[in-house]
Structure 1
Amino acid sequence: MSRKELEKIYFKALNKVKAKTIIKDNVSIKENILNIVDEKIDLNKIKKLYIFSVGKAGFSMAKECEKILEDKIKGGLAISTSKGKLKYIKHFKSSHPLVSKKSIKAGTLLLDEVSNLQEDDYFIFLLSGGASAMIEKPIDGLNLDDFSKISKALLSSGIDIKALNSVRKSISQIKGGKLANSIKAQGSVLVLSDVIGDDLNTIGSAPMNNGKFKHYIIGNNKIALKKAKKYIDKKVDKTKIITTSLDKNSIEASSYISNIIKEYDKKYESFCLLFGGETTTIVEANGKGGRNQELALRLLIDNKFNKNISILCSGSDGIDGNSDANGAFVDFEISEKIKKLNLNANEYLKNCDSNTFFNKLSYDFVTGITGTNVMDFIIVLKEKNNG
């Protein structure tokens, strides 16, 4: 199994959408002119420049902005789940994936900060996945306990991210453009997209999307997979980005991916198929796992693999469900290892315990928190038979 090659493909994709790359590619300053994507801001004509950053990449994106803009930054607030201090921007460590007291404190702090901006100030707002849970202020009459019960029920229901965020907006004083309503200053929003179709009404539950501020998508699944494709193109006969908007439950996704693998297996001696998006799964038991490991387990059960084919199903954020892993590998050799350990894949699937299954086989993929999030990558690699 070419686990190393799968990992290389994965990290090529991941690194293209990490904070260091996306900020460097889209934010620069020269002779007091601030360049933000295709905008030019004359800092001589504004009073103060502020940076706000919220989400899984909240800390790292803010830190990269500090490296470029340094003391031009006169304040701001970054909210993430990371540890660390920033030099010019305040940093608050919030919680994810459930709204907590920290989330409400973070939301209150952010509302206060942006409400104090003046008309002649300018801000850059950096938005990434995970923001929905990290900043919150429930509508009047709804306490944290009620809010948490609603959130927990939604997360375990298997509904897609659009439906999830729609409910979140209706019970929030921040989401759905409500945060932006409090701002008098001018500014731009730079977005690291973690949703299918890069829907600005969905990413982070759209705290800044009230029509007043321009949003730029500076990182997404497509940008990541294009980089991965460029890397592996020359090593196989055929490389194809099948989709960057995979939006199916794990049963449907496994069948869809399996059929495409069979189609390409007949045509090409070697290939790499790249899928991006986000599958869904319904949690019906108390095992450890997540959507990527469940998809890998279903692909294993559904297929008898060509000995040259290997697969990696993995998130881009470093977290898969309630496990420590980010995803899992599947290949031809796994069947023998399953027999030796006498494991029943279907039983683990039934118990929603995909992580325990792959961990016992040492086929789980563990990256730790990556500091970015552009949904999931499914990488299918068929290498040439050198035997």
Structure 2
Amino acid sequence: MTSSTTAHTQLLHSLFEAALDVVHPHRCVPRHMPCPAAGRTIVIGAGKASAAMAQAFEQNFRGEVSGLVVTRYGYAVPCEKIDIIEAAHPVPDENGLRAAKAILQRVTGLTEQDQVVVLISGGGSALMPLPYDEISLLEKQVIHSALLKSGANIIEMNTVRRHLSQLKGGGLAAACYPAKVTTLIMSDVPGNALSAIASGPTVGDTTTCQDALEIIDRYAIEISNVVREKLEKGAYETLFPEDHRLAHCTNKLIATPQMALEAAAKRAQELGIKSLILGDSIEGEAKEAGKVMAGIARQVRHFEQPIKPPCLLLSGGETTVTVKGQGVGGPNVEFLLSLAIELQGAHGISAIACDTDGVDGTAEIAGAMITEYSLADAVHKGMNALQYLGDNDAHTFFEKIGQSVITGPTLTNVNDFRAIFIDVAA
């Protein structure tokens, strides 16, 4: 690896760090604190960032507070007044079910004098499962696992999840009524659709049981006959936006993918490098997105359009992987491997692709990086990049060439971060 390549990788790491810093709960939460209520203030929440959000809240709130939040295993941080439960993600477990029941108990029987502060971030759908009585936790787990492998996007997956849970799709807000509800939301959803972030526990929903059933059938997700019958009859409908139980609810976006991209662009500008943000809500199959980004990078390299090198192409969103091989998928690494294959070692192009929560797909790895030498390194080790891509095994590919990015829990989550650096032609 040359000194210039090392400088490129250091730059990309720096951009990712800037993106993570601006959306950390300790920077986002204090700016959106509600005032103390006449009655009690109860903090509840779910998501990969919820424990860090709870810590930031109790350190800055000027009043008495109590509560409970549920976060992913390994993502807990110390809190003095707010209880923390850790549970499984992306497939729910007994701890998540226990946490959901405890949260429901905390908000039952409140009055108009009380307020509930709900801390929501990505991962909340899996971490706060409270299925209807006819749906066992095991069936919920099977459905979650099937959705994750199906190639369904986050909007589709959470449409199904909303209609199988008592707390999603406004259900949590209904349980809090008539208390005032303020929800602080960190978005991990393309387009920041509030009803889709953690499946919208305090947000009205315009989708129906029929919509959920159509998605289930589209991706051939197996469900029991009793659940199918309930969906067909509309027995699991969520709260519509005009429901009176939502009248006391305020939902605030406090961190978004765009904020992370803008922070990276600012860091690049400070280093004298131009950036082009291509979008904060790019979706679709990860390997196809890699091909598209490779085409844009080549246009910049060869024709200096739509931006002149040296420059950065920044993007976010949530791509998907339809897992057909023996690998575990991982949209960021699959995107990156596809990008590398399309670029074929083009001189002066490096890239990083990571999930801001530190977990790409189901792997405890944030993502990876490539340089112009990545494919050559793989060939030297006897590896066939196309075979790894076809087997949905990009995580193993990057691990073997030593280009995985491992952060551990980042305590935030605004979805995918991608940056492609294109140097001046030699």
Q: TM-score, normalised on structure 2?
A: 0.84
| Equivalent residue in structure 2 for 1:335, among 365, 368, 375 | 375
Tell me the equivalent position of 1:260.
296
Deviations 1:25-78 (A, max 9, x none): 333xxxxxxxx4xxxx3x3x61222222211001000001111126x2331111
| Equivalent residue in structure 2 for 1:75, among 58, 66, 91 | 66
Q: CA deviation at 1:84?
A: 4.2
Whether the 8 Å contact between 1:289 and 1:356 is mirrored in structure 2 is: no
1:324 counterpart = 2:364: yes
Tell me the equivalent position of 2:265.
229
SS of aligned partner of 2:146: helix
* 1:1-387 map, 5 Å: 1=5, 2-27=8-33, 36=34, 41=35, 43=36, 46-69=38-61, 72-81=63-72, 82-183=75-176, 184-210=178-204, 211-212=246-247, 213-236=249-272, 238-265=274-301, 266-267=303-304, 268-384=308-424
Distance in 1 between residues matched to 2:329 and 2:322, nearest whole Å: 12
Distance in 2 between residues matched to 1:365 and 1:139, nearest whole Å: 39
SS of aligned partner of 2:44: strand
SS of aligned partner of 2:155: helix
Whether the 8 Å contact between 2:287 and 2:339 is mirrored in structure 1 is: no
Counterpart code for 2:42: Y
Whether the 8 Å contact between 1:288 and 1:356 is mirrored in structure 2 is: no
Q: CA deviation at 1:362?
A: 0.5
Distance in 2 between residues matched to 1:383 and 1:282, nearest whole Å: 33
Distance in 2 between residues matched to 1:126 and 1:75, nearest whole Å: 13
Q: Percent identity?
A: 29
Whether the 8 Å contact between 1:51 and 1:73 is mirrored in structure 2 is: no
Choose 83-92 or 327-336, whichever is displaced more. 83-92
Counterpart code for 1:46: A
Distance in 2 between residues matched to 1:172 and 1:277, nearest whole Å: 25
Q: CA deviation at 1:197?
A: 0.7
SS of aligned partner of 1:79: strand
Q: CA deviation at 1:339?
A: 2.5
Deviations 1:121-156 (A, max 9, x none): 122211101000111111121111222211111111
Q: CA deviation at 1:289?
A: 4.3
Whether the 8 Å contact between 1:291 and 1:320 is mirrored in structure 2 is: yes
Deviations 1:187-217 (A, max 9, x none): 2111100001110110000111143311111
Greater percentage in strand: 1
Choose 246-255 or 373-382, whichever is displaced more. 246-255
SS of aligned partner of 1:275: strand
Whether the 8 Å contact between 1:162 and 1:202 is mirrored in structure 2 is: yes
Q: CA deviation at 1:342?
A: 1.4
**Structure 2, unpaired ranges of 5+:** 205-245
Counterpart code for 1:225: L
Distance in 2 between residues matched to 1:89 and 1:148, nearest whole Å: 28
Distance in 2 between residues matched to 1:87 and 1:127, nearest whole Å: 19
SS of aligned partner of 1:179: helix
Distance in 1 between residues matched to 2:77 and 2:376, nearest whole Å: 45
Counterpart code for 2:19: A
Choose 221-230 or 325-334, whichever is displaced more. 325-334
Distance in 1 between residues matched to 2:280 and 2:170, nearest whole Å: 26
Q: TM-score, normalised on structure 1?
A: 0.92
Aligned residues: 371
Distance in 1 between residues matched to 2:163 and 2:181, nearest whole Å: 25
Structure 1 102/336 Cα, relative in aligned 2: closer, same or farther at 3 Å? same
SS of aligned partner of 1:156: helix
Tell me the equivalent position of 2:213.
none
SS of aligned partner of 2:61: helix
